Amino acid sequence: MKTLNRFYIDGQWVEPAQQGARARSFDIVDPASEERIGTLAMGNDEDADRAIAAARAAFPAWSETSRETRIALLERIAAIYQRRLPEIAEAVRQEIGAPVSLCNALQAPIGLAHLHATIDVLRDFPFETTNGKSYVRREAIGVAALITPWNWPLNQITAKVAPALAAGCTVVLKPSEIAPLDAMIFAEILHEAGAPAGVFNMVFGEGRTVGARLASHPQVDMVSITGSTRAGVEVAIGAAPTVKRVTQELGGKSALLVLDDADLASAVASGVAQCMVNSGQTCIAPTRMLVPRARYDEAVTIAAAAANALTVGDPADPATRMGPISNRAQYDKVQRMIETGIAEGAHVAAGGPGRPSGLSRGFYARPTIFAGVHNDMAIAREEIFGPVLAMIPYDDEEDAIRIANDSPYGLAGYIATSDPQRARKVAARLRVGSVRINGAMLDVTVPFGGYKTSGNGREYGAEGLAEFLECKSVTM
């Protein structure tokens, strides 16, 4: 049984402000067994205030450090992170139920990739440029509050913390209470790496308490949140009276356009695999698959076979390809949305309600393929955040682009085609922040973010670092 009862504030491990009968805690639950594996202390406004005060006090000195000093800190962080990769992977497996193969291959290493990518950007980033008799300085914005979710925890933590530190900001991190184990290791890494007191701080707590305090506090200069669109809106509203910068990486309902010249079998199977990875709990997952109407039935058959072939089970088993949903509330939502799809008249081509056969406990959902879907159904418009794919037929390329763009979201798009020039033309017409063609993997060196209700601002690469900077012009 793990007991996480400390926060990291001003270079020290400290107890929560509330103790005794008034102290609040949160059960850490293994989603594969539904058993409690630990207890997490939850913070309040006072804890947030202490962390903000520490970050504010540390900002003047840290913001004036040299590029070389910041690179050296990030390099030490990366070296310790590399050493602790196995622990990080195991923590993610326990807390969110991601398969051990995914944790070892991606969930843990992606944090290291972000650290190295930020170091590379920082080496040559133009903090000052000249324009005739004027020059432009890009200066750290100040204290950055970072609010991260549970689905890809190290990806979101490092994609925010690394560029914030590189820019010269000081940080207060509020990780998800559902995924605290990896966050504790990350804070230990920052401490061992010698982050100056107050430069990095971490407080656990609920979004409606600690998150709301971080968003509204006048001494916080910027909030960066990754989460649901609802949570992003609440943060923006809380931040508005102090006119602080808010960047948001929010929900998605991304479409895969399988064009009529694509290898149908390969494109459909690849699309199913991309949708189902991490139990479908990925904001950019291609959860709508658009296929030519003339080959729709064939595509549904291929997709159903691919979903039925997925090995769902114990995330500790190396053979498992899909583990449980990460928590009960999300499991219940996924089940409700599957029932909604059935009630709307969609056809279950694979999967459906309940757990997979042979699994009587754990938050396991069945990889589900819906056919007979049209784009105004709830399962085609709402982010389900689970292993559920809606297959939609289209008449021609123009119709496919129209359907793809007919969404309140605009986070990502996917294209399958044998013609690279055609892919470029279609990509240019998709109202989304990123497009992947023919199964391309995530590139952490290029900007990431969304259009419409999928968010504001960008993460990753030089654009991600620039979000943490103010721009000052000086004319001689």
Looking at the DSSP bridge assignments, the partners of residue 223 are 145, 246
In the chain, the domains with their CATH numbers are 2-250+454-475 (3.40.605.10), 254-443 (3.40.309.10)
Q: What's the whole-model pTM score?
A: 0.97
**What are the tens digits of pLDDT across the range 368-388?**
999 999 999 999 999 999 999
CA 131 to chain centre: 38
Give me 78's structure tokens: 């990366």
- Residue 285 · residue 275 · CB < 8 Å: yes
Give residue 21's pLDDT: 72
- Residue 112 · residue 81 · CB < 8 Å: yes
The one-character DSSP state at 277 is: G
Give residue 430's pLDDT: 98
Give residue 20's pLDDT: 82
**What are the tens digits of pLDDT across the range 306-353?**
999 999 999 999 999 999 999 999 999 999 999 999 999 999 999 999
Cβ neighbours for 453, distance < 8 A, ≥ 6 positions apart: 229, 250, 251, 408, 409, 410
Three-state secondary structure call for residue 433: coil
**What are the tens digits of pLDDT across the range 422-474?**
999 999 999 999 999 999 999 999 999 999 999 999 999 999 999 999 999 99
Helices (H), ranges, 277-327 = 296-308
Which residues are catalytically annotated? 249, 283
Three-state secondary structure call for residue 362: coil
Give residue 22's pLDDT: 79
Of residues 266, 244, 247, 243, the one with CA closest to residue 256: 266
Residue whose entry in the numeric block shows the structure tokens 């007991």: 3
Three-state secondary structure call for residue 124: helix
Provide, rounded to the nearest whole percent, the portion of the chain with pLDDT above 70.
100
Mean pLDDT for all residues in the chain: 97
The pLDDT confidence band at residue 23, using thresholds 50, 70 and 90, is: confident
Give me 443's structure tokens: 């590139």
- Residue 56 · residue 143 · CB < 8 Å: yes
